[in-house]
Structures are given as structure tokens and as C-alpha cells.
Amino acid sequence: MSEAFMELFDIKEVFEQNSRQRILMGTPKRSPDEIVVINRFYRDETFNESLYLLLKRSLKNLVHIENTATELVVVTAYPEGAPLTALIESPRLLPSDRMKLAEFYLDQAAAYEGLPPAIQSLLIDLNQFVVQDTGLEPKELIVLDRGFKPELEPSAVTKKLSGVLNHILKPNEAAYEEFETDGIRNLIAGLAVGAISSISAARGTFAGLMASSERVSGTIHTTTSEKAGSNAGVSVPGAAVAGASVAGARVTRASENSVNTHPENSRSETDGNATSSIAAGSAVLGAAAAGAAAFGASAGGATAEGTGTTTLRSAGQGPGTSSGDSRTGAVGIELDNLFISEEPAKRTSPPRKKTVKKRQFKWIAWLLLIAVACLVLFGIFNILTGLFVRKAPVARFETQIDNGTYHFINKSSVSGSDNKLTQISWRIEKDGTELLSSDEFDLTVSFKNAGKYKVTLMVKDRYRWSSAYSQVMEHELAEGASIPSGEGEPVTVSEADDPLSGIQTSNVSANVSYDEKISRTGTASLKLDMTNTDQAQLSLDGLNVNRSTALSFWMKSSETDRVILTVFGYNDNGLKFTKKLTLMPQSTSNWEMVTIQSNYDGITAMKLQFSAPGTILWLDNFELAAFK
């Protein structure tokens, strides 16, 4: 295979595919317990060499990236966790928790700022984030649906960022401080109207708001002397703290409202928003200290008991005196458990450092070195034992044929209870030309043309590869008999009423017939009767399908149970792709459209294999149409 990622990862299933990309789920061959997303973008004006370099620098979960002539392949780890959308709806989430979540979100979103706006808009979506024990983690799953617009303007990114922050912070519901609510609303409004024009500017503005919030949450204390004699205490409301909070709120609102007052200076004022908010926090501290000093000066000695209350006590002999200390009472400020006092610090001798015994560390280093050497020797011994004593693995497979489809069941074996298969290699050849190679454990194929096909299997265990094991399949095409009517007799259908619209068929199973009693527009439809069987199939020949062509038909079901449709696409060299669709009929009385798109050019035939035990399906109005 030419793709390098195929040698590093095992493909498990197809997650999504459209005209721009194909998304696969897989596991690293070296770590089969991990899950990765393999995103194969078809190269165009957006997905080019420039985007390759930007994604390589911006994605946090990037595992592998490669740039080929036709595709840009991006492999990312898939983190698991609780959806952020569910967490932010919890009524028990505190305002401080919401601000911390918003801070984590902006830190991660800022990493995507160098990407095109259309890609940024996908990556900053609220559904892209999950919550783990270690914090907020991005999925970084880029799905290009029909709503994807490569020419998206940068203003659309900030507008989307405004909506995401509104969902996380909920300024109209959460119980923030007044200045916090105003700051959050100004930030969200600035993003919505474009006054704050980038993610980094929003991040800086929010950082300033967080700094102001942390400073205003500090508690003002005044120091007190020890209890002496019969001290009397008087409790007074902490007006200094309240005044500081109000002052902080006013300064913060003034700095943030300047964004809306002068739109022409929005960029410079946005960049300085963090500085303005920090200045507001400094003003809060100054007002708090001034209030505490005022209480200390008027009462003689003061202490704050609890948050928002200042208690004054008289010391008997005079204001600010205490037993054993003749100095006047000092004033201090406690902020986030950090006590700052204007009283001179007592001189204390530094603690003595314990002497470290260097010889003890040397012995530990030698023991670690000996342990590592023993582990290396043990590993080498195991490898040599496996190479020279263990037998090589044996490759074997069984063949099952079902309505022209070949199922190759892997029956390979290894030697040793602690041994296992690590790699699988299938190869199908015809007349010396390789048609298909695969690393799937079991292989299922259908051959379009008659002839002899050589199927070869090789397997590898932990130590070595097996010898090649081959079988030769002689495939014969079934006769393309005409489709009978429901009563078993051939029926003649006009070209205008033909449900297949003139498309040639072959390999039609016995339970497929024309039904002249049920049709959507003409006089007959195709009836697939699976009441006594598990499957029904037919091949459509003479097609010319490419990436801009879609095959569609209308389907009606006798049951509302799911229908599994497997599509095999062929070109002139044989099988090109396999696609599995799950169809869920909504009712038994309505016709529903089914559309099949190809990710390859030059498709000349398709085999449709339906699986719906106990169900009757009717198909009508087959059509090949081109789309842009």
C-alpha cells in the first residue's frame, strides 16, 4: 500500500464519508487498546500543503499526519469523557466553576487561531470538548458536512465564540458578583458585534476579569492583641469590604464599557482589557486597605472575624495595647489566606539544612542500574528463545461461498500460550497481477469477472512471519436471466415503467421478482422476498459512476425493522470498494429514497446485497444523477 498510515494503524470501521473526506475509526498496531480517528481529506483549495503545516502545529491530539498527491491524512487520538454540554447544564455548578471552565476552554481554543476560519469554527464548537479527571480535553474531530463553508469570514468565528461562552457562563442565571456579571456580558456582546475580533483578545479580556475577581474575593482583616483583663467587644458591619467591592465593580465596568462606547478603538482597548481589569483589582485592594485603616484608627485596635465583619476591642490601659506588648495595634490585610501585616516582622534564624548523605544516593543509583540491566538481558533472552525454540506461525483459511460472495475465514495458529498474531496480510491475484491487498483478520470479496483468482494469506506472530498459504478460486458468472414476475413467469415491462430505468442486471438471486400489484409511479416494482431467507441481491451493470455521480432508488418495506445494505463497487480491474449502510424504514406505507455515493471514479458495476430476514422490500425508480 502506498499510504504510510496503513502500516501504522488497523482500520476497524467507517465512521463518516462524503464528497470531501472519509473518516475511519482504528487502533494503533503497537497499542491496540487505544482508539484513533483517521481523517482522509481529498485535496482541494482548502486542504493543501499550507493547511498541512498549520494542522501539524495546532492540533493537540495529533498522532500522525501525511500529505499525498490526492489526500491529506490526519490521525488524532480520540479522548473519552463526560460531554461538556451536559456538565454546564448542571444546577450544582458554582459560578467560580463556570469561570474556570471558560478559562480552560479559551486556553485550548486559542491554539486554533492560526487555522482558516472555517476549520476554527468546527474546532471551537461546544460539542468538541469532553471533561476528564485531568481537565478539559478537545476531540478535534473535523467533519465536513453539507453546511461546511470554506470561505467563512473571521467574524463568524467570534460570533460563535460568543454563543459558546454564553452557554458556559450563563450570566443571566448564575449568581455572580455584580461587576463579574457586567464584565461577562460586555465580553459576550463585544464578540458578537466584532468589537473583540479574535480568540486571543477574548482570552486576554477574560484573564483580566478573572484577575479582578480573585483580588476582590480577598478578605480584609485587622490584627488584634491578646485578650487581657475584662476586654469588651463591639461588632461593626464591614463597610470597608463592601465599599471596596463596589469600587472594584465600578472600575471594572468602566474599563469594559469603553469597548462599546468607542467602536473605532475596539482592537486596542480589547488588547488592554486585561490591564484595565488588573488595575481595577488594584483599586479594590487600595480601597479595602484604606477602609481597614480607617476602622483601626477610630477604634484603637481591630480584628476581622469572618468575612465582611470587623470587630473592635478595647485593651483596658489604652487604645491598641495588649499584655506583654507595648506597641500600638497594627493593620493587616488577608487575601486568599495570605496575611500581609504592617507590623515589623520578628527576626528569626533560618532553619538548618539537613545534611544529605551522598553515598546513600550512589547505592540507589547502582541498584537501579543493575535492575535495568537485568530487565534488558531478560528481554534479549526471551527474544532469542522465541526465535530459535518456538515454531513459526502457520497460515490457514477456509472458504465459504454465499450467492457469489466469497468469505475467507482466517484459521491461522501460533506456537506458545503467551504468543499471538500481530499482523495479517491478504493478497488476491489474477493472471499474475495483484488486484487487492488487505490487513483484515477475515476477508470478504466478490469477483465481477469470471476466471481463476489466487488468494494468498501470510501471518506474523510476535517473532516471525509464516510461510505463504494459497488457494485458487475458479469463479463463474451466473447467467443473467430475466427477472420473473411474482407468479414465477417472465414479465415484459415497458421502458417507461421499468423500475430499473433501463439499467442492466445480473447475479439476481431467486427471491427477486417483478411485482405488478405494488409500484410507486409505473406499473411494476422489484420485489425482494426475504420471508424465508436472510438475503437478496442483484448486480447493476453497464454503469459509469464517479465521485460526482449518485445512484438513487425508492424503497418500501413490509416491516419497520432495520435493513442492512452492503454495496460492492467494481471497476475494470475488479472490486474497488465496499460500503455498508443501515436503513431504518419509518413506516410500512410510505416509499423512502435511498442514495448511494461513490468515493472513486470509473465504477462500472455495483452489487446491492440486502439483509432483512422476515421482510419483503419493494424497489422502484432507479436513477443515476450527477451533482456538484
Q: Are 201 and 267 in contact (CB under 8 A)?
A: yes
Spatial strand order in the sheet of 549-557: 512-515, 525-529, 616-626, 549-557, 592-597
In this structure, of 359-363, 502-506, 549-553, the range with the lowest mean pLDDT score is 359-363
Q: CB count, 10 Å around CB of 553?
A: 23
Q: How many CB atoms lie within 10 A of CB 277?
A: 28
More confident residue, 628 or 419: 419
* Arithmetic mean of pLDDT, 103-115: 92
Give the architecture-level CATH label for domain 397-475. Answer: Sandwich (2.60)
- Which range, of 162-171, 287-296, 463-472, 473-482, averages the lowest pLDDT? 287-296
Q: What's the average model confidence in pLDDT over 190-208? A: 91
Number of C-alpha atoms within 13 angstroms, CB side, residue 24?
A: 17
Instruction: Give the pLDDT band (50/70/90) at residue 483.
Output: low
Sign of CA dihedral 138, 144, 148, 149: positive
The residue ranking higher by pLDDT, 254 or 112, is 112
pLDDT value at position 27? 95
- Does 38 score more than 90 pLDDT? yes
pLDDT above 50 (res 226): no
**pLDDT averaged over every residue in the chain:** 76
pLDDT tens-digit series, residues 151-191 = 889 999 999 999 999 999 999 988 888 888 889 999 999 99
The total of other beta-carbon atoms located within 10 Å of residue 161's CB is 25
User: 86: part of which helix (H) or strand (E)?
Assistant: helix 84-87
**All structural domains of the chain with their residue ranges:** 4-212, 215-341, 359-389, 397-475, 504-626
Q: How far apart (Å, rounded) are the C-alpha atoms in residues 185 and 170?
A: 9
pLDDT digit string, tens, across residues 43-52: 888 888 888 8
Provide CATH code, domain 504-626: 2.60.120.260
Cβ neighbours of residue 423 closer than 8 Å, sequence gap 6 or more:
29, 439, 459, 460, 465
Q: What is the rounded distance in angstroms from the CA atom of residue 161 to the CA atom of residue 571?
A: 46
∠ CA(479), CA(485), CA(491), 5° rounding?
Answer: 80
Query: Which range, of 140-149, 235-244, 381-390, 568-577, averages the lowest pLDDT?
Result: 235-244
pLDDT at 606 over 50: yes
- Three-state SS at 607: strand
Which among 299, 134, 297, 277 is positioned nearest to 215, based on CA atoms?
Answer: 277
pLDDT value of position 494: 53
Model pLDDT, residue 432: 85
DSSP state of 263: G
Q: What is the pLDDT of residues 486-501, one digit of tens each?
A: 444 444 455 556 788 8
Give the count of beta carbons closer than 10 Å to the beta carbon of residue 317: 12
Q: What is the mean pLDDT of residues 120-129?
A: 92
In this prediction, residues 387-405 reach a mean pLDDT of 83
CATH number for the domain whose boundaries are 4-212: 1.10.510.10
Instruction: Give the per-residue pLDDT at 124.
Output: 94
Closest CA to 628 of 146, 16, 151: 146
Cα(449)–Cα(438) distance, integer angstroms: 20
